[in-house]
Structure 1
Amino acid sequence: MFTKFGKSLMMTSSVLALTGAAAMAQDQDSTLKTNRVVPFNGVKDYRTWSVGAWGGGSAAFGPFGGPYYFNNFDFKNVGIVYGAYVKKQIFHNFGLQADFMRGQVKGATKASQTLTDINGAPLAGGIKSFQTDIDWSASLSGVFSLGSINWINKQSFVIPYVSVGAGAIGFKPTVTAADGTEKEVLTTSGKSSHREMFIPVGVGAKFVVAPGVNIDLAYTANFVNSKVFDGVNSGNKDKFSTAKLGLEFAIGKKRKPQLAVVNPAAQLAEDLWSKNAALKTSLAESDARNEAAIGQLKEEIAGMKTDTDGDGVPDYLDKCPNTPAGTKVDGAGCPLPAPVQVIKEKVIVTEADRKVVKDAIDNLEFDLGKATIRPNSFASLDKVASLLVEKNFSLKLAGHTDNTGSAATNMRLSKERAEAIKAYLVSKGANPSRIEATGYGSTQPIASNKTAAGRQQNRRVEFTLY
């Protein structure tokens, strides 16, 4: 009997699958025409709320075995159930769903079966069938999607899921005796309405037929915390099954995709491909600009090599274009001046000249620790100046000191004394360009600095005439 019910459910599923496939073939492009979302940016770019309505059939058995007393299945004993739900999708593959259901569950029993009422007393005449009206039921379930990630297609059009939850149900069972007499089954307190907890466990699949619209096909086994849901006390708590067919509608802006049906792997890949394509386009444009710039640069380089007059200077640097062939030019392309022959006069330094210089050295005196020339040195220095003017000699002045004091002070003093002599000679008419003044401090002694006489010799200015 369960097999018959399963076959019926499978036939219904097949019809729905074919219907959904046809609808999906028509709406595939429109399903994907939603705004792109930013990965890892939360759920603000998605539609996460949805509502649904459904109808279906019920039967007084479940798939998990047990002593079913009302198990003669035929279509006369299929109850009608219907309901609605509100769903909040938390993640791509998990959501919470609040369900409401009404309807009835029917069943017929074997004629040989003896059943008892709610208090365990035998039911006279036997029970032929029962009908339980579900006045209401409310439950909250967790729904786990199994196919939102699809590595074959960019869009998941068929999304299997499982659900499990808990809720409360209000029902009124009625039994029909063998003689056709109907009897309401009352609670222990004498009321016809029963209220109990129940656990719905379901499997199903959603078929995406349009953006935000899904066909919902599901089978649910409902475990009721009651031994008389089917009107008789069989010693075990009862259960019943429902097969549902419904439509689900996403709530929110149509431009946003529905979180439950988006394929995140394909979306991330498409984002990466899109960015990669944009990068390739940008690189291609950059390459084109670079090629154009390189071509222009090559033209400019070729132009820079042009030398119209053949003088070895490119036109863009040639300040004297069209110079005759064979003309020697400078770096600006202008003819070089004709060379002027310079006749150097041989300079001869006589012994008399050397004596003048030696006298100046011997008579040279400075103030102590200063570069001030004492007046008694002027006469001999005047003779040196006259010699430089008359014979156009060159003169090198080298100042030296002993090692008394710091090296820096000695270097400065030797330089200043040499410069003082140069300044004096220039003031007497000597050519400053022919006089070189250098200070060496105490670095070139000619005698020992350990004695006063040696230090005296080291404090000197050397004159080199040439």
Structure 2
Amino acid sequence: MDFIASLSNILFYKAQPKINWYVLGGYGVMLADVDVDALNEQGSAYNYSSIDFGRKKKDIRKDLKDFYDRKYEQNAPNQGNRVQIGRKDENQLLRHALNVGTGIAFKVSKRFNIGVEEKITLPFDDYLDGYTAGAYDKSNDFFSYTSVRLNFNLGNSSKRVEPLWWVNPLDFAYNELNSPRRMKLPAPVLPDADGDGVTDQFDREPNTPAGAPVDSHGVAKDTDGDGVPDYKDKQLITPTYCQPVDADGVGKCPDPECCNNIKKTDCASLMFPSVSFKGSSTKVSSENEAILSSVANTLRSNPSCNILVTGHAGAKGKKGGVDLSSRRVDAVIDYLADKQGIDRGRFIKQNTPGDAGTVDLNPAN
């Protein structure tokens, strides 16, 4: 009786192993009848004087092979432990034995595989071959053999699975997790009461108004850190020295001490940058926000100066270009008025031919 341990299941990354490597160990009872060719045809002991033992071993073996008559007429020597089991020579060994071995099988199909196995039997006896190595040599005899095995799996495949050593034990669980067929998984429920994209279980500010920009924790953004969230802030970027701000997020920048007594610059000498738009966009980009914040500071320092906001409809002044230009002009004015707190009455709008991608800002007469 041998116990077999398959080692192929350590290859967990393979759904269906093609090779099964196994080891075996077990217990057996061995019966052996050992006889020797000790006497010649005349019934007397062999006389080896005619054999030249000074030659090569292969030559000695050949001479001995021809020398013996192969009658095996005499029981092998024993140490008093051979028992009678009904055979004619009454010279049998009855021995416990240990079996060890290893093998490898190659899967051809679910029904058939080919294997090679090496098995060793250890009977714990030095007289298995009728010869002892001597009192000073404690080694025992053993025998081994190699076999080629043709293995067939029997049974109805619709009712029987193939031997489990051909099945990855985790394959079923992996398949169920990847594509459940037997498990019923509930649909995930991730409520988001304020619709800001952050689920309620992680939302630190669960009542932000619709459309209000929030951070990864669901808290309304406050870009300039003035305490007024961006969705309420009419002056999105308020310099620190202009804070604190009012309820609309608009700050009051103090006049520099060095310039309190300096005559204000004449409006006609003021210089303003242009605002660029990409493609057909009418939205003020983050880069333009910084430019318009600088324009707003200049206008606050010169409250008597108005500004001419000029859009360009392109070289030919097409109807579609005029509409796009007008919306860009309105976007610039809306940002300066709503986000920076500049009075709308200080702006004068116009559209002219020119670079359709820009809106120019100039002091007005």
TM range (shorter): 0.3 to 0.5
Which structure has greater strand proportion?
Answer: 1
Instruction: Point out the structure with max Rg over C-alpha.
Output: 1
Higher helix proportion, which one?
1
TM-score normalised to structure 1 length = 0.28
TM-score (norm 2): 0.35
